[in-house]
Every structure is written in structure tokens, then in C-alpha cells.
Homo-oligomer: A and B are copies of this chain.
Amino acid sequence: MAKLEGKVLVAQGGGPTAVINQSFVGAVLESRKFPQVTRVYGALHGVRGIVDEDLIDLTEATTHNLEAVAQTPSSGLLSTRDKPDIEYCRNIFRVCQAHDVRYFFYIGGNDSADTCRIVNEESDKAGYELRVIHIPKTIDNDLKVTDHCPGYGSAAKFVAQAFAGVNLDNRAIPGVYIGIVMGRHAGFLTAAASLARKYPDDGPHLIYVPERPVTKQQFLKDVKAAYAKYGRCIVAASEGIVDPKGKAIVSQFTGGEKDAHGNVQLSGTGALGDLLASWVKAETNIKRVRADTLGYLQRSFLGCVSEVDQFEAREVGEKAAQYAIWHSQDGSVAIRRIGDYAVEYFLAKLKDVARESVEMPARFLNKAGNGVTDAFIRYAQPLIGDLPVMARIAAPSVKKVLKK
């Protein structure tokens, strides 16, 4: 097969992650090794930068600079929330053609995979050889086909460490604590709040995810029971939890600001946490009730990265370049778990990853709908890796002298 000579174009879309630049740098550095690659371009602000021709030339970016960017959270090429329709994708294709781009790598979630699919179809129709690879990333961990998604492990580690600290804090000064975690439809990230539990009474004691509807009545019953048992209660809840009718619980509180995709705003507001806290304050005698919304720190905090996630994010970027440039393939890079813990990479079809997303499988959630199973812990633990040391004092009680 003749070598397809031309340029590489890389872009990043959707919400940033802590390791999305590992994928970007992996794709760039691997691409630069191939003699048939004439230039490696990056698009600023995702597909928006392609149609606007806001491109930068990464061929001469220094390796040191790229390696430093790889360690930096959030999209180094900047991002976009644009969700291209067919006409938008045709414009992407036209820019590729005009710049002699022959390899297009788009790092993103299921919407980005769909953009890849359409651009790929348009180039096929036009008879222009353009290899298109979708490189997976999402803290939601909700892509089809792949075992898990780069970006999830680091966000999950942040959530685990946040709840580990909150658990220690709440032990020191007891009360009810409610932490709201990102996740509109999939509860994977919220479930990660369980991963740093060490002692049997460690929180979170209750975990609510969008996959399991919850009523106010059941929520309060659960909180009261946990508080009675532990003298305190820590709750982890997804921003996207719904009532039995499927209606977002936060919509009982907010006006329901909608984004470009027509979705109700869930992040960047403390509304759901404050709503759940108000329920507990109104319906129980518990005095200390606090709610935090973990917010954007979950996906961007500087200095909290899972090593496994970091390496895998790098590898899916490298693999994208190899599949496209060596093997002339189109598709979405996916991860297959082949050991405990080991993975291999393969190329899924773009149409199999595009558009739709997955939720947590039933085997990861307990029957009561307020916690996770050991199967989930076994699945997610290797993705976040080791956690910092944490221990309780082991010392005997002193016999009372005054009060006997």
C-alpha cells in the first residue's frame, strides 16, 4: 500500500480532563515520527477552530514544551461545546482538504466520535482520502465499546480523595455531609466516592446515581438510618439524580438554565446540594448539615492524576497515530481489559461509539439503589491506583477517674 502523504490535524472537544493533553501529545509526537507526515497541525477550540481555520503548527513545537503540556490539565488546544451538524462537518472536511490534511484525530466523547463519523463519510463521498480517528476521553466514563475512558481514572481519584478527606473531617466534627459529584446520566464518577473507604464505618455511607431514581422519602429514610448507625452520615450524589418520573431533582430548585445542547445546567451551581441539605434540615433533628458541590475541580484540579490514567491517555493518542498512519484505518481507539490489571488497545468502528452513551451496569449498584457493589470496586480501583497514606490512631482507652 502506497504511503498516504499529507498533514495531521489534531483537536480536542468537550469538557477537559486532567490527562487529555497526554492523548494530544501522544498523537503529536507519534505522528512526527512518520516521514509521510508533512506537518502536524492543531486546531484551537476544537472543531470551531477547524472551520475558522484557527490552526497552529505543532511540527516545530519543542519536545520539552509538549511534555510539559502533557502534564498540564485541561485542553491545551482549548475546547468547544459546538456539536456539528452535517453542514458543519462538511466545512471541517473542506478545511482538511484545503490544507492537505490526510489524518484527523479528534479527542473527545461520544459527540466527538459522531463528528468523526460524519467527517469520515463526507470525505469518502468526495473521494478524498482522509483517515479519521476518534481518541476517547471523558470523566463520565460513559463511552460505548471501551472498558473505560481515559480521563475517568484521574477524576475518580480526585473524587475518592475528596471524600476520603471529607470522611476524616466529618468524623472529627460529626454531622450530615452531602457532596454533589458531576454526572448527568452515568454514575461512574459519583460511585468513585467509595474507592477510598478503609475502615468499616468510613463514608460515604450513601451513594445516589442517575441510574437509580430516588424519592425524597427514601432519601430521608436512608439518611436517618445511617445517622442512627454511625452518628454521622456522608452522602455522595450525582448532579443528575432523578425522581421516579425521570425528572432531574435539581429542577425542583433552579430555573433550569439550558446549554447549547438543550440540557439543564447541572454544574456550576450549588442548588442540588442545598436542596438535599434543606430536606434533611427540615425533616430531621440533625443540627449540622453541610453540602458541597465538587464542581469544576473534579476535571481540572492541578496535581491530582492517576498514573494508570495518565499512561493510558498517552497510549490511546499514540495508537491513534499508528492505526491511521501505519494501518490506514478509521475508527475509535478503545481499551480492552485483559488482566487484573492489564489492558490492550483496539480500534472500534466510529458508528459503534458515536452518539449514544452507556450507564453503569446493574451489577455495579446495590439493590437498595443507595450504594455500590464490590464488583464496582474491583472494576474501578485499578484505574485510580494507589492513594495517599491515611490511618487512625491505635491506642487503648484510659480508665475514667472522676466519672466512673
Q: Is there a chain B Cβ closer than 8 Å to A295's Cβ? A: yes
Q: Is there a chain B Cβ closer than 8 Å to A120's Cβ? A: no
CA of A300 to CA of B164 in the docked complex: distance in angstroms?
8
- A44 CB → nearest B CB, Å: 9
Count A-side interface residues using an 8 Å CB cutoff. 89
Q: Is there a chain B Cβ closer than 8 Å to A330's Cβ? A: no
27 contacts between A and B (CB under 8 A): A16-B172, A56-B395, A56-B396, A57-B397, A61-B394, A69-B393, A71-B388, A73-B390, A75-B172, A76-B393, A78-B171, A79-B172, A79-B173, A162-B302, A165-B296, A165-B297, A166-B297, A166-B300, A168-B300, A177-B268, A177-B296, A268-B292, A269-B291, A271-B274, A290-B295, A292-B297, A294-B297
CA of A270 to CA of B275 in the docked complex: distance in angstroms?
10
CA of A320 to CA of B23 in the docked complex: distance in angstroms?
50
- A167 CB → nearest B CB, Å: 8
Annotate A51-90 by CB proximity to B: 1 below 8 A, 0 otherwise: 0111111101110011011011111111111000000000
Which residue in chain B gives the minimum CB-CB distance to A68? B391
Residues of B within 8 A of A297 (CB): 162, 165-166, 292, 294, 297
User: A76-B392, A162-B301, A302-B390 are known contacts. Are A268 and B296 too (CB-CB below 8 A)?
Assistant: no
Q: Is there a chain B Cβ closer than 8 Å to A402's Cβ? A: yes
CA of A62 to CA of B393 in the docked complex: distance in angstroms?
9
Tell me whether A16 and B168 are in contact (CB under 8 A): yes
Tell me whether A74 and B300 are in contact (CB under 8 A): no
Choose from B271, B296, B302 the contact partner of A292 (Cβ within 8 Å): B296
Annotate A148-174 by CB proximity to B: 1 below 8 A, 0 otherwise: 000000000000011011101101110
Tell me whether B268 and A72 are in contact (CB under 8 A): no
Q: Is there a chain B Cβ closer than 8 Å to A398's Cβ? A: yes
Tell me whether B60 and A395 are in contact (CB under 8 A): yes
Tell me whether B400 and A53 are in contact (CB under 8 A): yes
Residues of B within 8 A of A294 (CB): 297
- A202 CB → nearest B CB, Å: 12
CA of A42 to CA of B58 in the docked complex: distance in angstroms?
59
CA of A299 to CA of B44 in the docked complex: distance in angstroms?
36
- A235 CB → nearest B CB, Å: 13
Residues of B within 8 A of A302 (CB): 161-162, 164-165, 168, 196, 387-388, 390
Q: Is there a chain B Cβ closer than 8 Å to A99's Cβ? A: yes
Annotate A168-190 by CB proximity to B: 1 below 8 A, 0 otherwise: 11011100010000000000000
- A89 CB → nearest B CB, Å: 15
